Structure 1
Amino acid sequence: MKRQKRDKLTRAHSKGYQAGISGRSKDNCPFQASDARSHWLGGWREANTDRQLGLNSR
């Protein structure tokens, strides 16, 4: 059975969350397309909020 790729925007959000929870800067966004970039930044903001609340995964 083939593995199905996730939606690119969902993947961008997930990668942004991973970057945010690890404390990386939002300037390190690897996406240039505006849709993917906005999803990455949304994930980064969500993770940043979670990290400030003490929900980090260390």
Structure 2
Amino acid sequence: MMKRQKRDRQNRAHARGYQAGVSGRSKEACPYQNLDIKSEWLGGWREAMSDRQQGLYK
């Protein structure tokens, strides 16, 4: 049960990081302190950045 909650939190962090990246916010905008969660957020952010570079978002 705990594992799933953690997973959900990481998925949410990843999705939020992706949204931030798509909307052009800097990675300094990451709201998380926890390293695991923060790295999920940054992963999402980096994904969004590469999607933007490929022209999927303007």
Provide the rounded CA distance (Å) in 2 between the counterparts of 1:52 and 1:23: 12
Instruction: Spell out structure 1 runs of 4+ moving beyond 3 A.
Output: none
Provide the rounded CA distance (Å) in 2 between the counterparts of 1:55 and 1:8: 26
> Whose helix proportion is higher, 1 or 2?
2
> CA offsets per residue over residues 19-47 of structure 1, 9 Å max, x none?
00111000010000000000000000000
Normalized against structure 1, the TM-score is what? Answer: 0.85
Partner of 2:55: 54
Q: SS at 1:7's partner residue?
A: helix
In angstroms, what is the RMSD of aligned CA positions?
1.6
Offset of residue 15 of structure 1: 0.1
Partner of 1:23: 24
Q: Which amino acid aligns with 1:29?
A: C
Task: Give ranges in structure 2 of 5+ residues lacking alignment.
Answer: none
Q: Which amino acid aligns with 1:45?
A: R
Task: Give ranges in structure 1 of 5+ residues lacking alignment.
Answer: none
Normalized against structure 2, the TM-score is what? Answer: 0.85
